[in-house]
Amino acid sequence: MALLDINNLYKKFGGLVATNNITFSVEKGERVGILGPNGAGKTTIFNQVSGFIKPDGGEIIFNGENIIGKSPEFIAKKGIVRTFQIVKPFKGMNVYDNLKVATLSPKMKEEIKNETERKKWIEYIIDICELKNVAYTMTDLLPQGYLKKLEVAKSLAIKPKVVLLDEPFAGLTHSEIEPISKVIIKANEVSGTSIVLIEHRLKEFMQLVERVIAIDYGEKIAEGTPEEIVKNKKVIESYLGKGGEEIVNS
Ligand SMILES: Nc1ncnc2c1ncn2[C@@H]1O[C@H](COP(=O)(O)OP(=O)(O)OP(=O)(O)O)[C@@H](O)[C@H]1O
Ligand SMILES: [Mg+2]
Protein backbone atom coordinates (compact mmCIF):
# COMPACT_ATOMS: atom_id res chain seq x y z
CA MET A 1 0.00 0.00 0.00
CA ALA A 2 1.29 3.44 -0.92
CA LEU A 3 1.17 6.48 1.39
CA LEU A 4 -1.60 7.94 -0.77
CA ASP A 5 -3.85 5.86 -3.01
CA ILE A 6 -6.33 7.67 -5.21
CA ASN A 7 -8.85 5.27 -6.71
CA ASN A 8 -11.44 6.14 -9.38
CA LEU A 9 -11.74 9.75 -8.32
CA TYR A 10 -14.86 11.10 -10.00
CA LYS A 11 -16.20 14.65 -10.11
CA LYS A 12 -18.91 16.21 -12.24
CA PHE A 13 -19.70 19.93 -12.56
CA GLY A 14 -23.16 20.00 -14.16
CA GLY A 15 -22.67 18.18 -17.44
CA LEU A 16 -18.87 18.36 -17.32
CA VAL A 17 -16.94 15.38 -15.99
CA ALA A 18 -13.88 17.11 -14.51
CA THR A 19 -12.16 13.98 -13.17
CA ASN A 20 -13.21 10.69 -14.67
CA ASN A 21 -12.09 7.74 -12.54
CA ILE A 22 -8.60 9.07 -11.93
CA THR A 23 -6.40 6.44 -10.24
CA PHE A 24 -2.81 6.84 -9.09
CA SER A 25 -0.70 6.54 -5.98
CA VAL A 26 2.08 8.42 -4.24
CA GLU A 27 4.77 6.68 -2.21
CA LYS A 28 6.44 8.16 0.84
CA GLY A 29 9.20 10.57 -0.19
CA GLU A 30 8.28 10.47 -3.87
CA ARG A 31 8.10 13.43 -6.26
CA VAL A 32 5.18 12.95 -8.63
CA GLY A 33 4.07 15.31 -11.39
CA ILE A 34 0.65 15.87 -12.91
CA LEU A 35 0.70 17.03 -16.50
CA GLY A 36 -2.02 18.08 -18.90
CA PRO A 37 -3.55 20.91 -20.93
CA ASN A 38 -5.57 23.80 -19.47
CA GLY A 39 -8.87 22.58 -18.10
CA ALA A 40 -7.75 18.92 -18.02
CA GLY A 41 -8.78 18.59 -14.37
CA LYS A 42 -5.43 18.88 -12.58
CA THR A 43 -6.44 21.47 -9.99
CA THR A 44 -9.73 19.63 -9.51
CA ILE A 45 -7.74 16.58 -8.41
CA PHE A 46 -5.92 18.73 -5.82
CA ASN A 47 -9.19 20.33 -4.71
CA GLN A 48 -10.63 16.92 -3.99
CA VAL A 49 -7.56 15.38 -2.35
CA SER A 50 -7.23 18.42 -0.06
CA GLY A 51 -10.95 18.49 0.75
CA PHE A 52 -11.82 21.82 -0.90
CA ILE A 53 -14.28 20.12 -3.24
CA LYS A 54 -16.33 17.03 -2.39
CA PRO A 55 -15.82 14.19 -4.89
CA ASP A 56 -18.82 12.45 -6.43
CA GLY A 57 -17.14 9.06 -6.31
CA GLY A 58 -13.99 7.09 -5.62
CA GLU A 59 -11.61 6.62 -2.73
CA ILE A 60 -8.72 8.61 -1.33
CA ILE A 61 -6.80 6.31 0.98
CA PHE A 62 -4.19 8.14 3.05
CA ASN A 63 -2.12 6.13 5.53
CA GLY A 64 -4.70 3.38 5.27
CA GLU A 65 -7.69 5.64 5.98
CA ASN A 66 -10.33 6.70 3.45
CA ILE A 67 -10.38 10.50 3.73
CA ILE A 68 -12.71 11.16 0.81
CA GLY A 69 -15.16 14.00 1.42
CA LYS A 70 -13.46 15.10 4.67
CA SER A 71 -12.90 18.80 5.42
CA PRO A 72 -9.69 20.65 4.44
CA GLU A 73 -8.94 21.09 8.16
CA PHE A 74 -9.26 17.36 8.84
CA ILE A 75 -7.09 16.47 5.84
CA ALA A 76 -4.43 19.09 6.67
CA LYS A 77 -4.26 17.75 10.21
CA LYS A 78 -3.68 14.25 8.84
CA GLY A 79 -0.74 15.66 6.84
CA ILE A 80 -1.83 16.61 3.32
CA VAL A 81 -1.36 20.27 2.49
CA ARG A 82 -1.76 22.18 -0.76
CA THR A 83 -0.74 25.46 -2.34
CA PHE A 84 -2.84 27.49 -4.76
CA GLN A 85 -2.18 28.61 -8.33
CA ILE A 86 -2.52 32.18 -7.08
CA VAL A 87 -0.29 32.95 -4.08
CA LYS A 88 -2.10 33.83 -0.87
CA PRO A 89 0.29 35.43 1.62
CA PHE A 90 -1.11 36.95 4.80
CA LYS A 91 -0.89 40.63 3.96
CA GLY A 92 0.44 43.32 6.29
CA MET A 93 2.76 40.73 7.85
CA ASN A 94 6.36 39.79 7.34
CA VAL A 95 7.64 36.40 6.22
CA TYR A 96 8.42 35.22 9.75
CA ASP A 97 4.90 36.02 10.95
CA ASN A 98 3.35 34.37 7.91
CA LEU A 99 5.13 31.18 8.92
CA LYS A 100 4.14 31.71 12.53
CA VAL A 101 0.47 31.66 11.50
CA ALA A 102 1.08 28.29 9.86
CA THR A 103 2.50 26.96 13.13
CA LEU A 104 -0.70 27.97 14.93
CA SER A 105 -2.71 25.49 12.84
CA PRO A 106 -4.43 22.68 14.76
CA LYS A 107 -1.80 20.15 13.64
CA MET A 108 1.18 22.19 14.82
CA LYS A 109 -0.53 23.35 17.99
CA GLU A 110 -0.20 19.77 19.20
CA GLU A 111 3.39 19.37 18.02
CA ILE A 112 4.93 22.62 19.24
CA LYS A 113 5.13 22.74 23.03
CA ASN A 114 6.35 26.31 23.68
CA GLU A 115 7.54 29.56 22.09
CA THR A 116 11.20 28.52 22.04
CA GLU A 117 10.29 25.43 20.04
CA ARG A 118 8.11 27.52 17.72
CA LYS A 119 10.91 29.99 17.01
CA LYS A 120 13.37 27.18 16.34
CA TRP A 121 10.96 25.50 13.93
CA ILE A 122 10.19 28.74 12.02
CA GLU A 123 13.90 29.50 11.75
CA TYR A 124 14.53 25.99 10.44
CA ILE A 125 11.87 26.44 7.73
CA ILE A 126 13.29 29.86 6.84
CA ASP A 127 16.70 28.26 6.56
CA ILE A 128 15.77 25.30 4.33
CA CYS A 129 13.55 27.52 2.17
CA GLU A 130 16.32 30.10 1.80
CA LEU A 131 14.21 33.00 3.03
CA LYS A 132 16.72 34.34 5.53
CA ASN A 133 17.41 37.60 3.72
CA VAL A 134 13.69 38.47 3.59
CA ALA A 135 12.57 36.99 6.92
CA TYR A 136 11.47 40.38 8.29
CA THR A 137 10.26 41.87 5.00
CA MET A 138 6.54 42.56 4.67
CA THR A 139 4.97 40.23 2.12
CA ASP A 140 3.44 43.25 0.31
CA LEU A 141 6.98 44.19 -0.76
CA LEU A 142 8.15 40.78 -1.91
CA PRO A 143 8.73 39.93 -5.58
CA GLN A 144 6.70 37.06 -7.03
CA GLY A 145 9.62 34.63 -6.81
CA TYR A 146 9.82 35.03 -3.04
CA LEU A 147 6.05 34.89 -2.62
CA LYS A 148 6.03 31.53 -4.38
CA LYS A 149 8.84 30.35 -2.10
CA LEU A 150 6.90 31.56 0.92
CA GLU A 151 3.89 29.58 -0.29
CA VAL A 152 6.03 26.43 -0.31
CA ALA A 153 7.51 27.37 3.09
CA LYS A 154 4.04 27.86 4.61
CA SER A 155 2.98 24.42 3.50
CA LEU A 156 6.16 22.83 4.90
CA ALA A 157 5.70 24.67 8.20
CA ILE A 158 2.91 22.29 9.19
CA LYS A 159 5.24 19.24 8.83
CA PRO A 160 3.15 17.61 6.14
CA LYS A 161 3.52 14.08 4.81
CA VAL A 162 2.34 15.16 1.35
CA VAL A 163 2.54 18.59 -0.28
CA LEU A 164 0.41 19.36 -3.33
CA LEU A 165 1.99 22.22 -5.30
CA ASP A 166 -0.25 23.86 -7.90
CA GLU A 167 1.96 25.63 -10.45
CA PRO A 168 4.65 26.99 -8.12
CA PHE A 169 6.62 28.27 -11.15
CA ALA A 170 3.76 30.09 -12.90
CA GLY A 171 4.62 33.66 -13.85
CA LEU A 172 8.29 33.32 -12.91
CA THR A 173 11.40 33.81 -15.00
CA HIS A 174 13.84 30.94 -15.44
CA SER A 175 16.24 32.45 -12.91
CA GLU A 176 13.43 32.77 -10.35
CA ILE A 177 12.37 29.14 -10.86
CA GLU A 178 15.72 27.59 -10.03
CA PRO A 179 15.83 28.61 -6.34
CA ILE A 180 12.27 27.34 -5.76
CA SER A 181 13.01 24.11 -7.52
CA LYS A 182 16.04 23.64 -5.27
CA VAL A 183 13.98 24.36 -2.16
CA ILE A 184 11.37 21.78 -3.20
CA ILE A 185 14.04 19.13 -3.72
CA LYS A 186 15.77 20.02 -0.46
CA ALA A 187 12.51 19.86 1.52
CA ASN A 188 11.70 16.55 -0.10
CA GLU A 189 15.11 15.07 0.66
CA VAL A 190 15.56 16.46 4.16
CA SER A 191 12.11 15.59 5.50
CA GLY A 192 10.97 12.75 3.23
CA THR A 193 7.83 14.73 2.43
CA SER A 194 6.13 13.46 -0.72
CA ILE A 195 5.63 16.12 -3.38
CA VAL A 196 2.87 16.20 -5.98
CA LEU A 197 3.45 18.95 -8.52
CA ILE A 198 1.29 20.49 -11.24
CA GLU A 199 3.28 22.59 -13.73
CA HIS A 200 3.21 23.86 -17.30
CA ARG A 201 6.91 24.79 -17.25
CA LEU A 202 7.97 21.56 -18.86
CA LYS A 203 11.70 21.61 -18.65
CA GLU A 204 11.83 22.43 -14.94
CA PHE A 205 8.89 20.09 -14.24
CA MET A 206 10.54 17.09 -15.88
CA GLN A 207 13.80 17.75 -14.02
CA LEU A 208 12.03 17.83 -10.69
CA VAL A 209 9.66 14.87 -10.75
CA GLU A 210 10.43 11.15 -10.72
CA ARG A 211 7.11 9.97 -12.12
CA VAL A 212 4.45 11.69 -14.21
CA ILE A 213 0.68 11.21 -14.39
CA ALA A 214 -0.63 12.70 -17.66
CA ILE A 215 -4.28 13.66 -17.86
CA ASP A 216 -6.57 15.01 -20.55
CA TYR A 217 -10.32 15.73 -20.42
CA GLY A 218 -10.42 14.47 -16.83
CA GLU A 219 -8.90 11.09 -17.66
CA LYS A 220 -5.50 9.60 -17.02
CA ILE A 221 -3.93 9.00 -20.43
CA ALA A 222 -0.43 7.93 -19.39
CA GLU A 223 1.86 7.31 -16.45
CA GLY A 224 5.61 6.83 -16.39
CA THR A 225 9.03 8.34 -15.86
CA PRO A 226 9.68 11.77 -17.46
CA GLU A 227 11.72 9.98 -20.15
CA GLU A 228 8.80 7.70 -20.97
CA ILE A 229 6.22 10.49 -20.89
CA VAL A 230 7.99 12.79 -23.38
CA LYS A 231 7.94 9.90 -25.86
CA ASN A 232 4.35 8.87 -25.18
CA LYS A 233 2.17 9.23 -28.28
CA LYS A 234 -1.02 10.19 -26.44
CA VAL A 235 0.79 12.83 -24.35
CA ILE A 236 2.43 14.30 -27.45
CA GLU A 237 -0.93 14.49 -29.22
CA SER A 238 -2.85 16.00 -26.30
CA TYR A 239 -0.30 18.30 -24.77
CA LEU A 240 3.37 18.30 -25.65
CA GLY A 241 3.10 18.65 -29.41
CA LYS A 242 5.85 17.46 -31.69
CA GLY A 243 8.50 19.68 -30.13
CA GLY A 244 7.86 18.42 -26.60
CA GLU A 245 10.89 16.23 -26.33
CA GLU A 246 13.19 19.03 -27.53
CA ILE A 247 11.70 21.53 -25.06
CA VAL A 248 12.37 19.16 -22.21
CA ASN A 249 15.87 18.20 -23.37
CA SER A 250 17.01 21.65 -24.51
N1 LIG B 1 -15.82 24.83 -9.05
C2 LIG B 1 -16.04 24.56 -10.34
N3 LIG B 1 -17.29 24.67 -10.87
C4 LIG B 1 -17.53 24.40 -12.16
N5 LIG B 1 -16.59 24.00 -13.04
C6 LIG B 1 -15.33 23.87 -12.58
C7 LIG B 1 -14.99 24.15 -11.22
N8 LIG B 1 -13.66 23.93 -11.06
C9 LIG B 1 -13.19 23.54 -12.26
N10 LIG B 1 -14.19 23.50 -13.18
C11 LIG B 1 -14.04 23.08 -14.58
O12 LIG B 1 -13.46 21.77 -14.56
C13 LIG B 1 -12.49 21.65 -15.61
C14 LIG B 1 -11.15 21.31 -15.00
O15 LIG B 1 -10.65 22.46 -14.34
P16 LIG B 1 -9.26 22.50 -13.57
O17 LIG B 1 -9.18 23.81 -12.90
O18 LIG B 1 -9.14 21.28 -12.73
O19 LIG B 1 -8.23 22.41 -14.78
P20 LIG B 1 -6.63 22.45 -14.76
O21 LIG B 1 -6.17 21.17 -15.38
O22 LIG B 1 -6.15 22.75 -13.40
O23 LIG B 1 -6.32 23.64 -15.77
P24 LIG B 1 -5.16 24.79 -15.73
O25 LIG B 1 -3.94 24.13 -16.28
O26 LIG B 1 -5.69 25.82 -16.65
O27 LIG B 1 -5.02 25.25 -14.33
C28 LIG B 1 -12.52 22.95 -16.39
O29 LIG B 1 -13.36 22.80 -17.49
C30 LIG B 1 -13.07 23.95 -15.38
O31 LIG B 1 -13.76 25.01 -16.02
MG1 LIG C 1 -5.16 24.32 -12.57
Q: Is 86 in the pocket of ligand 1 (CB under 6 A)?
A: no
| Residues making up the chain, counted from first to last | 250
**What Å distances lie between residue 60 and 28, 45, 67, 68, CA to CA?**
15, 11, 6, 5
Q: Is 9 in the pocket of ligand 1 (CB under 6 A)?
A: no
CB atoms within 10 A of CB 151: 21
Residue of 44, 83, 201 to test ligand 1 pocket, by largest number of atoms within 8 Å of CB: 44
* Contact (Cβ atoms closer than 8 angstroms) between residue 201 and residue 250: no
pLDDT of 18: 98
pLDDT of 243: 64
pLDDT of 250: 65
Q: Which domain holds residue 222?
A: 4-249
Return averaged pLDDT per consecutive 10 residues of the chain, 250 residues in all. Answer: 96 97 97 96 97 97 96 94 84 95 89 95 95 96 92 93 94 91 92 95 93 98 96 91 68
End-to-end C-alpha distance for the chain, whole angstroms:
37
| Count of structural domains within the chain | 1
* Contact (Cβ atoms closer than 8 angstroms) between residue 183 and residue 149: yes
Q: What is the CATH number of the domain that holds 36?
A: 3.40.50.300
The DSSP bridge pattern shows strands 219-224 and 211-216 to be antiparallel
Tell me how far apart the alpha carbons of residues 231 and 15 are, in angstroms, rounded to a whole number.
33
Ligand 1 centroid, distance to 109 Cα (angstroms): 34
**CA atoms 113, 118, 124, 129: torsion sign:** positive
Tell me how far apart the alpha carbons of residues 219 and 17 are, in angstroms, rounded to a whole number.
9
Q: Is 43 in the pocket of ligand 1 (CB under 6 A)?
A: yes
* Contact (Cβ atoms closer than 8 angstroms) between residue 31 and residue 25: no
Atom of ligand 1 nearest to the CA of 53: 1
Question: Rounded to two decimals, what is the model's pTM?
Answer: 0.93
The DSSP bridge pattern shows strands 211-216 and 31-35 to be parallel
